[in-house]
Amino acid sequence: MIVKLIDYLRDRLKTVIRICYGVLALLVLYDIFFVDKHSAHLAIEKVPGFWAIFGFIACVLIIILSKWYGHVKWFGSDFRVMSPEDFYDD
Amino acid sequence: MTEFIHPGFVLIFGALLLPFAMGPLRKPYIMLVPILAFMSVLNMQHGTYGVVNFMDWELTFGRVDALSQVFGYIMTLMCIIGSMYGLHVKDPKEHMAAWMYVGGSLGVIYCADYITLFIFWELMAFTSVFLVWFRKRKESLPTGFRYLLVHTAGGLILLAGFVLRYKATGALDFNLLDVDHPALYTYLIMVGFILNAAVPPFHAWLPDAYGEATVSGAVFMCAFTTKTAVYALARGLAGLDILIVLGVIMALYGVVYAVLENDSRRLLAYHIISQVGYMVAGVGIGTQMAINGACAHAFAHILYKGLLFMGCGSVLYMTGKSKFSELGGLYKKMPWAFVFTLIGGLSISAFPLFSGFVSKSMIVFAGAEQHLYWASFLLTLASAGTFLHTGLKVPYFIWFGKNNCSKETWEKAADPPWNMMVAMAVASFLCIFIGSYTPYLYKMLPYQNEAADYALHVYSSYHVSESLQILLFTALGFFLLIKKLAPEPTISIDMDWFYRIGGRGFFWLARKPIQTFDTWFSEVYRTVGLHPLMTTSKFWSWFDWHGIDGVVDGLARFVRSLGTKLRTVQDGRLQHNIYYAVAIVAVLIVTYVYG
């Protein structure tokens, strides 16, 4: 049952992706026109679609900064945080 | 029936009797004991029970109030689910270790003095380590020893803290410390607690041990040690400002390492650090709303993190693999494991109608109420990372994505045995139930007025819209950058480097000079001592054998044996050293107090 549903969606991947973009757009529109923002703590939260921008930037920042942290050579040596799996082996 | 039966003792005695429940009795017994413990929690009335006078001290085993009840409830409930999940495990020792470990947690939760706390605190470490050792891989043994070593060190710092406090104030009671005027002992107690809560830089034991634990052992471990520490912090150090900073650092640190991680269970372990960061920050904020939030989040976290470890554990159990670079595309083979793991992922990511939504936001809200906007924003940032990994990366790279399975892995993959499925189904149900019907959890929280206030806010259109935007646009970022997130077969070097490589350096220093000295001495002995003398006369020969050999070679032997001793320290006799270290420091501290 679950497998059939997943396969059904995967066969129509393009449509699914379009629907997802549609949902994202609707969500932002809903936020702009219908949400009561009086309980927001800061003025910046009242920017239209603020949390959508926040979520997207947060995601991109987390991926890029973390990967940089993992791959960069530290202290000019060959040491990287992401090391071969046998790093601790004798 | 008496009003108070200690659920911890139910589990500990239950564990001791477990080997006698054989054959067809074994499985019903494994379910019965945790259920009895849970019932003893349900049956409790608020009050103080089990007060014992021991030497000059008054030990309290049963302090039942709202704070201890919410933790006691969820821990015994999780013990039922975990026991169900491990029902197929043949070796009774694994259940025994798990139950004693939970017993230790419950002992900490219901005690009201530091001596009782310390005994149960150590019991937790010394029983849970077996859940690592029972994996029986080559790495399990050293991993277990590292785990034990770190926890023993933390236990000693805690011991030093409360003994110093006893000397300064004469009090051993386990209640809120004077956090506005922290003394040295306050910080020592804090370090003891936060080591168990896995606060950086004292956190590396957690991914190290939880990634290596047995399949069902990890389900227990992920629930109890850190959340018991959160309870201890909430009880003893609520409102200590530094905890806010530490909590926020934790929340982000776990996210960064989760990006880099290739092993699914280690990724989940890093997300424990991240999630416990919310609770530690909540305790640091210290208002009634924040403490409610920390308790609620611990409650929800125990269930969804257990569920996630069960989901990834079932993949490991069936295929023998837990690394993303060796998995992928499994939805056809393990659809139910996927659905349950996804529910866990949506819960930890705080999707509306799932448990994290009603708990995590309470802490963020409490921070904003206190105008700690930087903390609230950074915690919200971390929650984007949570969805990115646990909600998206884990399900995607195990059940979809590129199929990295070997032929053997693919053939072995299938949904796990019925008991694992039932355990995951129960946990999934509870995750959704908590998220959808808020009074269930909110009625248990220690501060009822704040909980009622927040219940009005949690499903407001603003909060729902805010959360959905953050989550869905995080998902957008994930799918746009998915190539960057492809699994890499690496390990991430963390703070354990210091005691893994640093420790080796210490032993090298200790061993190398002694060995050099040893070799040098033998050399001198051979050339100066033995060779010329043997050729001169019988007397000198006799003198050599009875004099020099006795003294010099004896010395050399002594030095060599010392070298061997140091080597064995490194190899396997570590448990003795740990016991000695504990004993010596304990004696020193007691002498210091009474001297």
Contact A67 B484 (CB under 8 A): yes
Is the model's pLDDT at B516 over the cut of 80?
no
Is the model's pLDDT at B256 over the cut of 90?
yes
Is the model's pLDDT at B532 over the cut of 80?
no
Model confidence at B158, pLDDT cuts 50, 70, 90, reads very high
**Torsion angles phi and psi, residue B323, rounded to 5:** -95, 140
Contact B477 A63 (CB under 8 A): yes
Q: Among B239-248, B277-286, B486-495, B586-595, whose mean pLDDT is lowest?
A: B586-595
For B41-93, how does the pLDDT look when each residue is reduced to its tens digit (9 = 90+)? 999 999 999 999 988 888 999 999 999 999 999 999 999 999 999 999 999 99
User: Of B287, B286, B187, B301, which Cα lies nearest the Cα of B251?
Assistant: B301
The full set of domain ranges for chain A reads: 1-35, 39-84
For B541-585, how does the pLDDT look when each residue is reduced to its tens digit (9 = 90+)? 555 555 555 555 555 555 565 555 545 444 445 556 666 666 776
Model confidence at B304, pLDDT cuts 50, 70, 90, reads very high
Site from B466, B485, B508 to mutate, A interface, most A CB atoms within 10 angstroms: B466
Residues near B248 by beta carbon (within 8 Å), at least 6 away in sequence = B277, B281, B374, B375, B378, B379, B382
What mean pLDDT is predicted for residues B331-350? 95
- CA B263 – CA B398 distance, rounded (Å): 11
Chain centroid to CA B538: how far? 68
What mean pLDDT is predicted for residues B108-129? 95
Contact B472 A51 (CB under 8 A): no
Contact B477 A42 (CB under 8 A): no
Per the listing, tokens 């045995």 go with: B417
Other C-beta atoms closer than 10 Å to the C-beta of B305 total 27
DSSP string of B510-562?
HHHHHHHHHHHHHHHIIIIIIHHHHHH-HHHHHHIIIIIIIIIIHHHHHHHHH
Confidence at residue B570, expressed as pLDDT on a 0 to 100 scale: 47
Model confidence at B593, pLDDT cuts 50, 70, 90, reads low
**Which has more pLDDT, B134 or B503?**
B134
Is the model's pLDDT at B5 over the cut of 90?
yes
What mean pLDDT is predicted for residues B436-446? 95
* Among candidates B461, B476, B484 on the partner chain, residue whose Cβ is nearest the Cβ of A24: B476
What mean pLDDT is predicted for residues B430-457? 94
| Distance to chain B for A15, nearest Cα, Å | 16
| Distance to chain A for B300, nearest Cα, Å | 23
**Which has more pLDDT, B203 or B535?**
B203
- The amino acid that residue B329 corresponds to is G
- The amino acid that residue B389 corresponds to is H
Is the model's pLDDT at B349 over the cut of 90?
yes
Q: Among B157-166, B346-355, B533-542, whose mean pLDDT is lowest?
A: B533-542
DSSP string of B139-173?
THHHHHHHHHHHHHHHHHHHHHHHHHHHHHH---B
The structure tokens listed for B265 are 């269970």
Residues near B497 by beta carbon (within 8 Å), at least 6 away in sequence = none
| A chain contacts of residue B257, beta-carbon cutoff 8 Å | 66
Confidence at residue B569, expressed as pLDDT on a 0 to 100 scale: 47
Which pLDDT tens digits describe chain A residue by residue (90 residues)? 889 999 999 999 999 999 999 999 999 999 888 888 887 888 888 888 899 999 999 999 999 999 999 988 888 788 888 988 888 886
ipTM of predicted complex: 0.93
Size of interface A-B (CB pairs under 8 A): 143
Is the model's pLDDT at B27 over the cut of 90?
yes
Angle between helices B448-458 and B355-369 (to 10 degrees): 110
| B chain contacts of residue A81, beta-carbon cutoff 8 Å | 260, 492-493
Q: Among B406-410, B434-438, B566-570, whose mean pLDDT is lowest?
A: B566-570
What mean pLDDT is predicted for residues B1-7? 81
Q: Among B174-178, B495-499, B577-581, whose mean pLDDT is lowest?
A: B577-581
Asked if A23 is an interface residue toward chain B (Cβ–Cβ < 8 A), one would say yes
- CA B377 – CA B367 distance, rounded (Å): 9
Is the model's pLDDT at B507 over the cut of 70?
no
Residue B263 DSSP code? B
Contact B507, B566 (CB under 8 A): yes
Confidence at residue B555, expressed as pLDDT on a 0 to 100 scale: 52
Contact B130, B221 (CB under 8 A): no
Confidence at residue B261, expressed as pLDDT on a 0 to 100 scale: 92
- The amino acid that residue B491 corresponds to is I
Is the model's pLDDT at B130 over the cut of 70?
yes
| B chain contacts of residue A37, beta-carbon cutoff 8 Å | 462
Other C-beta atoms closer than 10 Å to the C-beta of B119 total 14
Residues near A15 by beta carbon (within 8 Å), at least 6 away in sequence = none
What mean pLDDT is predicted for residues B457-486? 92
> Could you tell me the sign of the dihedral formed by the alpha carbons of B199, B262, B375, B229, in that order?
negative
Chain B: residue whose CA lies nearest to A4: B332
For B383-399, how does the pLDDT look when each residue is reduced to its tens digit (9 = 90+)? 999 999 899 999 999 99
Asked if A8 is an interface residue toward chain B (Cβ–Cβ < 8 A), one would say no
Site from B289, B462, B496, B501 to mutate, A interface, most A CB atoms within 10 angstroms: B462
- CA B356 – CA B436 distance, rounded (Å): 11
Chain A: residue whose CA lies nearest to B387: A59
| Distance to chain B for A75, nearest Cα, Å | 15
- CA B414 – CA B334 distance, rounded (Å): 5
Q: Among A71-80, B134-143, B236-245, B263-272, whose mean pLDDT is lowest?
A: A71-80
The structure tokens listed for B177 are 């410390």
* Among candidates A55, A61, A80 on the partner chain, residue whose Cβ is nearest the Cβ of B471: A55
| Distance to chain A for B559, nearest Cα, Å | 26
Contact B477 A56 (CB under 8 A): yes
Confidence at residue B54, expressed as pLDDT on a 0 to 100 scale: 83
User: Of B136, B129, B293, which Cα lies nearest the Cα of B208?
Assistant: B129
